[in-house]
Structure 1
């Protein structure tokens, strides 16, 4: 099997145990294991000596989504197997992974493992253990999940706006499925030890409510159903918080009777929540005390984090969509060899400016060589992966493989790819700028309702430049185009 293993880590001691377990595993070996150190700084990690190649990379403390992106973009294999640094693989894990991936068709983008969470047999699981146990019912959990590299390139990998190990895996899976792929259930089993986060761990976990706001913004109000989850408790938490605030406010203004009623409602809601959490647990004095205290703290903390997340995602998102050939890379007719990819001068710097401003990036590219028989979809994909390696990440790749005679809806100057890119990115198309070197690029932007920026080259027709000066924007190079896009957005 042609695969690599990517392990994001913050230097937890379980990493060494995992690496030794992989080294002892029977089955096809990975091309390499890429350990991505997500600590903000520090000396390189000391890793155990094992028989296969291990590479260390740094991701600068930007969270697991960014760490995984750093890892898979550095890999060169068809499949990328992601493992968390606190899991433990069985002695036959590499063999089982190989069997899970073997023969998967091109429409299958990923294979997800089954997780086993060992629990103490002498008592009921506590709150932290039940939280870990919930991972076994998650539909797409990146603690052990393998993705095709080409699918990751197509959808732009993990969304780095998810700063913690929460929702970033479900978001990626939903985007992959929306792109037309399937995710297969594997037969391999990986052990995930139960976590213990301390007395207030459940309160700290409420930070994930901010990520829930981003999920709703990206995937709609029914995102929980799409991920196979229940309705959640935010509504009940909001009611509990409101009654508590009302009780305090009424008491402060001397309205004792009303304050008593509101306080009683708050106490009843809090007691119901605490009872629900205490019932399945070990019911030790410490656990009961913890559940009572945190049940009072969780509702207002959850609401505060959700409000913070909603305010953050309400900032209007923007995107710049680039044509590929003669805009991002030098134009080579019917380019099918990744070795021929040469970025145009200034492209990397211009893209860096846009990324620093929080602008999402995508590529919309006509590739009629596929329809004409000069290229294959695999060769186009290989070239795009090389572009992504040199200039990425791009959050979406939209490619039209049709010829002019096919009368498809996606080939520029038609707006199909622009509209699809905006939909994938969750951006209002009116907040998109399309940058390209031909009239077809700016016409596709206009047809979709986006703004077009023409960057003329020696191949750009004079009348295309004149029309762009009248109906769109014209930039001297890709750097100037990025500046124009920033002004428009």
Structure 2
């Protein structure tokens, strides 16, 4: 039995896209259900694509970056597996067969399969700085240049975090969140060729923009995030010392403190020279390359510090709104296991749209004791959640408690576990979260986690729960009012 999969290719219209599509079309093995090309150009007509036997569909993501393009692509897909390919890679003739072999028989706790990347560099000389940067991809753990994910794992993790605006860190962030949710990531046997970069004189300087994304990684995954993705400590500390030495030397020169300025200037010269030498020695050592390394080695430390500071400011206080599912976002159906019975509550879509426009992260925290009682399977709950996400999403996190009252878990509302897990996955302080639900358990879970709670009463809400919420939290007449309250609290 073959494994159904969809190929999603985010693109800004690079020339290699046509070659990649032809390679997929000519590939040997089980063919994809379709290829979805996620066009991330901000405007323009449909891309001119070659004639293929494969079914190809174009979707638009509006120039919001590769994370948003991938999200647009996988949400349009309907197969169990989504195979992401970058538009600048090239797959070998046996790629479809090798992908099918990699995916077939994987346990349900395996969320993804990652390929091995091959980066060809010219023979007969040492690689340039740009080529070495691309070669670093071959040692990275989770590169979505060729990585296949289960659609349900993408759904539960909320997909790619669109706060990562460039092709950097968004794949590692998703993998960490998926692993934190209890899934595993398998290493596949398939290989894909990724071309070596050939940037201009200041390409390495522009790469320092990624330091802003590193700030978001630290916010979401803690100080040890580099170790968790298999990287070394980085050079930001040394860059900060180099930048401080330069700034101090200039300040002392302005104050005419020559001796101290000379000392700090010497420190800056030594650190910059050491950094340049580390970059020159592994390279081809041509005059042009040496010149590039000397100039950019002086510019990179302050640029790295500036971008990191910008990222820290941008991501210093993110906020999130977490919703109960049944009788809050959708009409309540006891032990709902049929996606066809999902009906959004009045005003839900509009309320969510306003929060997304404000930049708030959204999540769902839901008790599903029907699993513990045997009325529902985890798969049925996931199918319903997928339908909710299709109608009202995207949500950046889904947190479900499968336990019953007698299980003594820490996640079943009114306990705080679901709220705390959602906040951790989103990289948001609990105090910057608002929980909106229809029962006293929702408000109590928020209070226990240190979050804000808003009760939206329904016919099932007990009068005592409403009175307590009026005293200890907030009460709204409907989701529209709850949204306005949440915006004010955050």
* Same topology, TM > 0.5: yes
Query: Would you say 1:222 and 2:224 are equivalent positions?
Result: yes
Deviation for aligned residue 1:468: 2.0
Tell me whether 1:438 sits opposite 2:439 in the alignment.
yes
Q: Structure 2 unaligned segments of length 5 or more: list them.
A: none
Greater shift, 226-235 or 451-460, is seen at 451-460
Question: Which position in structure 2 is the counterpart of 1:270?
Answer: 272
What do residues 49-89 of structure 1 show as CA deviations (whole Å, max 9, x unaligned)?
11111111111111111111111111111111111000000
Distance (whole Å) between structure 2 residues aligned to residue 418 and residue 409 of structure 1: 11
Q: Aligned-pair distance for 1:365?
A: 0.9
Choose the corresponding residue for 2:83, options 81, 88, 108. Answer: 81
| Mapped contact 2:252–2:260 kept (Cα < 8 A) | yes
State the number of aligned residues: 488
Return the alpha-carbon distance in structure 1 between the equivalents of residues 176 and 367 of structure 2: 26
Distance in 1 between residues matched to 2:51 and 2:42, nearest whole Å: 25
Among 31, 45, 48, the alignment partner of 1:46 is 48
Q: Does 1:425 align with 2:426?
A: yes
Q: Which moved more, 1:392-401 or 1:9-18?
A: 392-401
What is the aligned counterpart of 1:236 among 235, 238, 251? Answer: 238
User: Aligned to 2:158, which of 146, 156, 166?
Assistant: 156
> How far apart in 1 are the matches of 2:30 and 2:187?
20
Q: Offset at 1:411?
A: 1.7
Structure 1 residue aligned with 2:200: 198
Instruction: State whether residues 220 and 424 of structure 2, in contact with CA within 8 Å, keep that contact through their aligned partners in structure 1.
Output: no
Q: Does 1:59 align with 2:71?
A: no
- The CA distance in 1 between the partners of 2:433 and 2:245, in whole Å, is 43
Looking at structure 2, the residues matched to 216 and 324 of structure 1 have their Cα atoms a distance apart, in angstroms, of: 30
Corresponding position of 2:120: 118
Taking the aligned partners of 1:370 and 1:251, their CA distance within structure 2 comes to 71
Moved more, 363-372 or 208-217: 363-372
Segment drifting more, 215-224 vs 419-428: 419-428
Q: CA deviation at 1:407?
A: 2.9
Provide the rounded CA distance (Å) in 1 between the counterparts of 2:444 and 2:160: 31
Q: Aligned equivalents of 1:234 and 1:417: distance in 2?
A: 35
- C-alpha distance in 1, partners of 2:242/2:448? 49
SS in structure 1 at match of 2:250: helix
State the Cα distance separating 1:410 from its structure 2 match.
1.7
Q: Aligned partners of 1:459, 1:231: CA distance in 2, in Å? A: 53
Residue 342 of structure 2 is matched in structure 1 by 341
Distance change (3 Å), C-alpha of 1:465 and 1:136: same
The whole-number CA distance in structure 2 between the counterparts of 1:322 and 1:310 is 28
Match for residue 182 of structure 1? 184
| Aligned equivalents of 1:481, 1:256: Cα separation in 2 | 63
Q: Distance in 2 between matches of 1:246 and 1:221?
A: 28
Deviations 1:432-468 (A, max 9, x none): 2111112222222222222221111122222322222
**2: CA distance between counterparts of 1:255 and 1:471?**
61
- Give the Cα–Cα distance (whole angstroms) in 1 for the partners of residues 168 and 445 of structure 2: 37
Pairs within 5 Å for 1:405-484: 405-484=406-485
Aligned partner of 1:100 in structure 2 is: 102
Mapped to 1, the partners of 2:332 and 2:275 lie a distance apart of: 62
Q: Aligned to 1:370, what secondary structure does the other structure show?
A: coil
Off by >4 Å, runs of 4+ in structure 1: none
In structure 2, distance between residues paired with 1:468 and 1:364: 19
Q: Give the 3 Å change call, closer, same or farther, for CA 467–265 of structure 1 in structure 2.
A: closer
Aligned partners of 1:243 and 1:447: how far apart in 2?
Answer: 47
Q: Structure 2 matches for 1:390-409, cutoff 5 A?
A: 390-409=391-410
Task: Indicate the larger mover: 245-254 or 331-340.
Answer: 245-254
Deviations along 1:2-35, whole A, 9 cap, x unmatched?
2111110000010000000001111111111111
1:291 maps to what in 2?
293
Secondary structure at the aligned position of 1:369 is classed as coil
Structure-1 residue corresponding to 2:312: 310
Q: Give the match for residue 254 of structure 2.
A: 252
Counterpart CA distance in 2 for 1:404 and 1:208 is: 46
Take 2:294 and 2:191, find their aligned partners in 1: how far apart are those partners? 36
* CA drift at 1:38: 0.7
* Structure 1 unaligned regions, length at least 5: none
Tell me the SS of whatever aligns to 1:5.
strand
CA 1:124–1:334 in 2, change beyond 3 Å: closer, same or farther? Answer: same
For 2:267 and 2:439, how far apart are their aligned partners in 1?
65
Q: CA deviation at 1:427?
A: 1.8
Aligned position for 2:330 = 329
Report the 3-state secondary structure (helix = DSSP H, G, I; strand = E; otherwise coil) of the residue aligned with 2:198.
coil
Give 2:142's match in structure 1, choosing from 140, 143, 156: 140
Q: Counterpart in 2 of 1:170?
A: 172
